[in-house]
Amino acid sequence: MLHYLLNFLYPPRCAVCGAGLPIDTTRRVCAPCLGAVEPLRAPLCILCGAPLAAGGDDQRCRHCRGVAPAFDSARAITRYRSGADGSSTVAALLRRHKYGLDQSLGRALAEYLDAAPPLHAGGYDLVIPVPLHRARLRWRGFNQAALLGAALARRLNCPLDVATLARVHATAPQTARDRGARARNVRNAFAVRRPSRVAGRRILLVDDVMTTGATADECARVLRAAGARRIDVLTLARVL
Ligand SMILES: [Zn+2]
Ligand SMILES: [Zn+2]
């Protein structure tokens, strides 16, 4: 009833494209924008989740065959496209909210998780979002990964932990750098504050976008060093 009244006073609009939504909606993203999400299709690298050429024998991509990642597996809900034709609604959603405070972003992101997330069936003990550095969090006001992590934790009925993994060095934004440079940029950027929280646990690490996987790999490395038993990574989108 309250949402109806609020919707009447502030007509609801799609968080991605701005189209008007029905007055009685509880949703934040319109049906066409949700329907435009393109899932990553098998075959995928069993480690990092990158698409593989169909018909090949190898279950791992070129990069994972070279150096296995520190996480057990990574999967994404959708491919990140940022074409001028607006081909990725997820890209539009993330871009639109990246530098503006919008409390509804978490709800909008969660709507993309409606289909069963592509996760390891064994379950998890903790959901941990990739943290922002304090300074950036203060400046931006929220962490997209934490909003997504909160939505996933609710869905999986699993505790959310935003305190144990910390970003201890502010790093330059991961833009337009090659794989090696991206890995060096995040090296030693993360620390586990309370190793006892993660020792022996199965961790689901959550981020908004994965590019080369360097950030997730570095987080997984310190979680592993602290004794984490299993570390899977779920991102909303994957840049390929
Ligand atoms: Zn829309
Ligand atoms: Zn791979």
CATH numbers and ranges of domains, the chain: 1-35 (no CATH), 42-239 (3.40.50)
DSSP calls for 172-188:
----S--HHHHHHHHTT
Average pLDDT over residues 167-180: 75
Beta sheet of 126-129, edge-to-edge order: 73-80, 230-239, 202-210, 126-129
* pLDDT digit string, tens, across residues 179-209: 888 888 888 899 999 999 999 999 999 998 8
Numbers of helices and strands, H then E, in the chain = 10, 6
> From ligand 2's centre to the CA of 4, what distance in Å?
46
CA of 85 to the centre of ligand 1 (A): 14
Which ligand is closest to the CA of 72, given by its number? 2
- Spacing, Cα 15 to ligand 1 middle (Å): 7
Ligand 1 midpoint to CA 19 (Å): 6
Paired strand residues for 129: 206
Ligand 2 centroid to Cα of residue 66, in Å, is 9
Residue-wise pLDDT tens digits, 141-159:
778 889 889 888 988 899 9
Per the listing, tokens 């996760």 go with 119
Question: What torsion do the CA atoms of 33, 38, 76, 187 make, to the nearest 10 degrees?
Answer: -90
- Nearest ligand, CA 16: 1
